[in-house]
């Protein structure tokens, strides 16, 4: 098939936007700094094989597992241009003409807020997409696994606003579905500007499988019907707003409960203290809760979200530094509580001492009592046994490995269970957290402990586990604060 060329819709380059998200990476994997025209074209499979070093595992840049089977590689063309290549599973698109037609539709889009599609390959049973390469990784990394500093409030607002602008642009061009919007779909260019990946504009297969991540985050209509509608994108955008506000991946059902009880301490990242007004926080929470409405027609439009986020970003730029200085600092809080003696339970004391063996004994004896309140209104383990026996087997195997202190196997089976579970089990999260601690995967352990707290806000165990994780990460002040909160919750 001949070369298909579309001229760029952008008449002049967009203004440079200084970013505070990430530091540009000047290593061999970074952007080469060259300027290349955004021309959509067909690539041969051999060209892409060479560009990715034979689809080397070392060039994989995407999340990939059984539930995310299509893999994204970084590559480099003969002219030096860096590219991202998405390789679909074989037979995902048996009809090459349908694949090419959809690729061409996405290839016509050109937005400064997107990592744009620049080509495709349809060769025998191989189906691949080629996009602009973004060298500074994903929102997931910089929001959940940051190394130098947490993402600032203004930057998080910019991510949300640019994503809304990208989605609205696609709507204006007649493409109103975005499949599986999540923090892995937001990328950062060489100067740290957020870009929405174009790969989400095409289904994962001709059969229309649209949602490949944890079903706890899927829109209600997808769970009912197995398909997406334009309003489903708004729902997924709401989950993205939750991620940006909290710095954690909070399941929507639990977030709605926290909205109703005004449990803002869990919903807002503590690292954002003093960076915004109460009014802005409340407004962002309100629009996030509207995005997560069960009935699609009750959700706001992307255009409305774009307008609201634009106003919030302007206000955040005017939020005075003097006000921030007047806000009570975390160091003052720590000083205030430093002299207060902690009354710790045996589990809390074990977390203070990082006595992982005692922590294991206590968690094993506790059983699954903490899950009762979480699942009683939606699902029961008896119901799961009847309808999801295979998934329950994963939990049972995980429990057996946990008892046997085979922590690697425990992680594997608990992870399998949580991918298929219809609701979050705080006990499984707590147990997998300890498994991660035992295998020295401290950041992963902390993430589980925080998610367990979201799932069961009145349960003190997650706070104690967070303390143990923070001690392991050499964050002693934060660890002591978590111990204090756990002790206070237990006393209450």
Active site residues: 180
Nearest to 214 by CA among 87, 393, 66, 411: 66
- What is the C-alpha to C-alpha distance for residues 45 and 243, in angstroms, rounded to an integer? 37
Lookup result for tokens 């994962």: 204
Among the residues of 268-406, which ranges form H helices?
Answer: 278-291, 302-318, 321-326, 330-338, 346-352, 356-366, 372-375, 381-387, 389-403
Token pair, residue 28, equals: 């061999």
Half-sphere exposure of 38 (CA within 13 A, CB side): 21
CB within 8 A of 71, min separation 6: which ones? 55, 60, 62, 64, 86, 87
What burial letters (b/e) apply to 196-232, b meaning 16+ CB within 10 Å? Answer: bbbbbbbbbbbeeebbbbbebbbbbbbeeeeebeebb
In the chain, the N- to C-terminal Cα span, in Å, equals 70
- What is the C-alpha to C-alpha distance for residues 27 and 392, in angstroms, rounded to an integer? 45
* Long-range contacts, stretch 305-309, CB < 8 angstroms, 24+ apart: 305/164, 305/234, 305/237, 306/161, 306/164, 306/165, 306/168, 308/283, 309/157, 309/160, 309/161, 309/164
Whether the Cβ atoms of residue 40 and residue 4 lie closer than 8 Å to each other: yes
Sheet with 117-123: strands ordered across: 41-42, 117-123, 126-132, 82-87, 71-76
Whether the Cβ atoms of residue 145 and residue 249 lie closer than 8 Å to each other: no
Nearest to 187 by CA among 141, 239, 253: 141
Whether the Cβ atoms of residue 133 and residue 34 lie closer than 8 Å to each other: no
| Cα 92 to Cα 87, 88, 181, 198, distances in angstroms | 10, 6, 20, 18
Nearest to 375 by CA among 432, 413, 428: 428
State how far Cα 171 lies from the chain centre: 23
User: Which residues are registered as beta bridge partners of 115?
Assistant: 197
Whether the Cβ atoms of residue 235 and residue 182 lie closer than 8 Å to each other: no
């Amino acid at each position: 098939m001949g070369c298909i060329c579309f001229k760029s819709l952008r008449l002049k380059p967009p203004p440079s936007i200084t970013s505070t998200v990430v530091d540009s990476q000047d290593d061999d994997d970074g952007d080469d700094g060259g300027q290349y025209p955004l021309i959509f074209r067909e690539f041969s499979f051999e060209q892409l094989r060479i560009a990715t070093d034979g689809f080397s595992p070392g060039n994989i840049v995407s999340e990939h597992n059984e539930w995310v089977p299509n893999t994204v590689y970084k590559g480099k063309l003969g002219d030096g241009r860096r590219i991202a290549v998405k390789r679909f599973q074989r037979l995902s698109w048996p009809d090459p003409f349908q694949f090419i037609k959809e690729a061409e539709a996405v290839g016509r889009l050109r937005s400064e807020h997107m990592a744009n599609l620049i080509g495709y390959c349809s060769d025998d049973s191989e189906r691949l997409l080629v996009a602009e390469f973004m060298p500074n990784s994903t929102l997931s990394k910089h929001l959940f696994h940051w190394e130098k500093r947490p993402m600032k409030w203004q930057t998080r607002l910019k991510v949300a606003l640019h994503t809304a602008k990208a989605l609205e642009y696609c709507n204006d061009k007649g493409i109103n579905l975005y499949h599986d919007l999540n923090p892995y779909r937001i990328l950062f260019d060489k100067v740290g500007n957020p870009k929405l990946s174009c790969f989400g504009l095409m289904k994962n297969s001709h059969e229309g499988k649209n949602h490949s991540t944890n079903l706890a985050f899927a829109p209600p209509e997808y769970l009912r019907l197995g398909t997406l509608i334009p309003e489903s994108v708004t729902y997924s955008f709401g989950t993205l707003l939750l991620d940006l506000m909290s710095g954690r991946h909070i399941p929507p059902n639990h977030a709605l409960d926290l909205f109703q009880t005004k449990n803002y301490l869990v919903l807002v990242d503590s690292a954002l203290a003093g960076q915004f007004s109460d009014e802005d926080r409340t407004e962002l929470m309100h629009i996030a809760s509207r995005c997560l409405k069960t009935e699609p027609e009750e959700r706001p439009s992307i255009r409305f979200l774009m307008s609201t986020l634009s106003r919030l970003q302007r206000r955040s730029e005017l939020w005075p530094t003097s006000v921030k200085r007047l806000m009570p600092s975390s160091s003052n809080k720590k000083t205030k509580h430093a002299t207060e003696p902690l009354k710790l339970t045996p589990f809390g004391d074990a977390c203070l001492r990082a006595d992982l063996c005692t922590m294991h004994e206590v968690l094993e004896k506790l059983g699954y009592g903490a899950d009762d309140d979480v699942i009683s209104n939606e699902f029961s383990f008896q119901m799961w046994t009847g309808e999801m026996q295979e998934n329950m087997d994963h939990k049972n195997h995980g429990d057996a490995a946990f008892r046997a202190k085979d922590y690697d196997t425990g992680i594997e089976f608990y992870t399998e269970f949580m991918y298929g579970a219809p609701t979050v089990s705080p006990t499984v999260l707590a147990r997998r957290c300890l498994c991660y601690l035992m295998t020295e995967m401290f950041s992963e352990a902390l993430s589980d402990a925080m998610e367990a707290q979201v799932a069961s806000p009145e349960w003190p165990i997650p706070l104690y586990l967070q303390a143990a994780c923070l001690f392991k990460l050499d964050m002693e002040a934060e660890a002591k604060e978590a111990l204090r909160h756990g002790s206070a919750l237990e006393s209450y």
